[in-house]
C-alpha cells in the first residue's frame, strides 16, 4: 500500500479507510488477528479485510456493512489524527497550483505538523521529486517519519527536526518551491531564498492573522521577491434538493386572447403565457446553500524569487 501508487488488494500492515458514510469514516491499520469496532459491529481484519479488494463492501458482526477504501491524500486530510491545526483540500488545491508543483519538483516545507499538506505535495511531485519538511517539535517530527514510512512514501520525503527560522531547511539552491506554515514566517524568508533555485522559484506563506501577512510581505520585499500576492479562500457548499414553492394566484388571463396577439391554439399550450394559473405548489430541483459556512481559515501569500 502506498499513498502514491494504487494497489488492488488489502494487505497486512496497510492503512485503510473504513467508510460508514460521507460524514463518518476513519483510518485503520490492518493487522492479522486484530478487530475494529464500529456502530455496525466488529470487523475482523484476518477474515474481513486481508486479501479483499479495496472498495469492497464488508459486512460487520451486527449485520450492517461498510466500505473499505484505498487511502488518498484527500481522504487522509479528512481522517488523520490531529497533532496540530491542519490545512484542508480547499487551500491545498490552490497551494499546489500556485507553487506550480509537478512530478519531479523539489519542495521545502515548514512546519510538517500533522502532514496534511505533506501527503498532497508528495503525491504531486512523485515519482522523481522530493519533499524536505522541517518540524520544530521533536515528537511531531518522529511521528511524521513513522507515518511516511507506514504509507510507503519515505523515499520521497526527508523529515528534519530543527528550527527553520534559525537553521533553515538544510538544503541550498535546489528547491522549486517553499511553503511556510509557522508563527513568524518573516524570520524564515532569508532561509527560504537560500533554499530556492537560482531564479524563478516560488514561495507560499500561510498565516491566520493579517499582521503576520504584513510583516511577511515586508520581508519578501526586503529579500527581493517579486509578484507578491495575498489570497483568502472562502468555500460555500450547496446541496441539491427538491424544493416546493407556492404558485401565486394572479387571477384569470384576459378573455380575449386575440387582442393580445395570440391565437386560440396558444391557450391550450401549457407553456403559453396566457394559460390560466391555478393556485397550488410546484416542485423543482434547486441548489440550497448550507446554513453554516466555513469562514476564514488563513491568508495565502505567494511570491517569486527574481
Residue stretches of the annotated binding site for S-adenosyl-L-methionine: 114-117, 135, 163, 181
Domains of the chain listed by start with CATH number = 9-71 (3.10.330.20), 75-234+297-305 (3.40.50.150)
Mean pLDDT computed over every residue of the chain = 90
pTM: 0.84
**Predicted pLDDT at 262:** 45
**Predicted pLDDT at 279:** 53
Count other C-beta atoms under 10 Å from residue 273's C-beta.
Answer: 9
Phi, psi at 189, each rounded to 5° = -60, -40
Q: Give residue-wise pLDDT tens across range 285-303.
A: 988 888 887 788 999 999 9
Phi, psi at 64, each rounded to 5° = -75, 170
Mean pLDDT of the 150-179 span: 97
Place of cell 522559484: 201
Q: Give residue-wise pLDDT tens across range 217-272.
A: 999 999 999 999 999 999 888 889 898 888 887 776 545 554 555 454 444 444 44
**Predicted pLDDT at 289:** 86
Count other C-beta atoms under 10 Å from residue 174's C-beta.
Answer: 15
Q: How far apart are CA 52 and CA 54, in angstroms?
A: 7
Q: How far is CA 89 from the centre of its chain?
A: 1
Mean pLDDT of the 109-128 span: 97
Checking if the pLDDT of 45 tops 90, the result is yes
Q: How far apart are CA 48 and CA 33, in angstroms?
A: 11
Phi, psi at 234, each rounded to 5° = -120, 120
**Predicted pLDDT at 245:** 85
Q: Give residue-wise pLDDT tens across range 119-155.
A: 999 999 999 999 999 999 999 999 999 999 999 999 9
**Predicted pLDDT at 68:** 97
Percent of the chain predicted with pLDDT > 90? 76
Mean pLDDT of the 164-169 span: 96
**Predicted pLDDT at 267:** 43
- Name the band, by pLDDT with cuts 50, 70 and 90, for residue 278: very low
Residue stretches of the annotated binding site: 114-117, 135, 163, 181
Cβ-proximal residues to 143 (8 Å cutoff; 6+ apart), any chain: 83
Mean pLDDT lowest among 75-84, 98-107, 275-284: 275-284
Q: How far apart are CA 205 and CA 220, in angstroms?
A: 10
Amino acid at each position: 500500500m502506498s499513498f502514491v501508487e494504487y494497489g488492488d488488494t488489502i494487505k497486512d500492515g496497510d492503512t485503510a479507510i473504513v467508510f460508514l458514510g460521507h460524514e463518518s469514516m476513519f483510518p485503520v491499520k490492518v493487522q492479522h488477528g486484530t478487530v475494529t469496532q464500529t456502530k455496525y459491529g466488529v470487523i475482523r481484519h484476518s477474515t474481513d479485510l486481508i486479501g479483499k479488494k479495496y472498495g469492497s463492501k464488508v459486512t460487520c458482526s451486527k449485520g450492517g456493512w461498510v466500505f473499505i477504501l484505498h487511502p488518498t491524500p484527500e481522504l487522509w486530510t479528512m481522517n488523520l489524527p490531529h497533532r496540530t491545526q491542519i490545512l484542508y483540500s480547499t487551500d491545498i488545491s490552490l497551494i499546489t497550483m500556485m507553487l506550480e508543483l509537478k512530478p519531479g519538483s523539489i519542495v521545502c516545507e515548514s512546519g510538517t505538523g500533522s502532514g496534511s499538506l505533506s501527503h498532497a505535495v508528495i503525491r504531486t511531485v512523485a515519482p522523481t521529486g522530493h519533499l524536505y519538511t522541517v518540524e520544530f517539535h521533536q515528537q511531531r517530527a518522529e511521528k511524521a517519519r513513522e507515518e511516511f514510512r507506514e504509507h510507503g512514501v519515505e523515499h520521497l520525503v526527508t523529515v528534519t527536526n530543527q528550527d527553520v527560522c534559525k537553521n533553515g531547511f538544510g538544503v541550498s539552491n535546489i528547491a522549486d518551491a517553499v511553503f511556510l506554515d509557522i508563527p513568524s514566517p518573516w524570520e524564515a524568508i532569508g532561509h527560504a531564498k537560500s533554499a530556492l533555485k537560482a531564479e524563478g522559484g516560488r514561495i507560499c506563506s500561510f498565516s491566520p492573522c493579517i499582521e503576520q501577512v504584513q510583516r511577511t510581505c515586508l520581508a519578501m520585499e526586503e529579500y527581493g521577491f517579486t509578484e507578491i500576492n495575498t489570497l483568502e479562500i472562502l468555500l460555500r457548499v450547496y446541496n441539491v434538493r427538491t424544493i416546493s414553492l407556492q404558485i401565486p394566484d394572479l387571477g384569470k388571463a384576459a378573455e380575449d386572447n386575440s387582442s393580445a396577439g395570440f391565437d386560440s391554439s396558444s391557450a391550450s399550450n401549457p407553456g403559453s403565457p396566457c394559460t390560466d394559473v391555478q393556485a397550488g405548489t410546484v416542485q423543482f430541483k434547486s441548489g440550497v446553500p448550507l446554513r453554516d459556512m466555513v469562514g476564514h481559515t488563513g491568508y495565502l501569500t505567494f511570491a517569486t524569487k527574481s
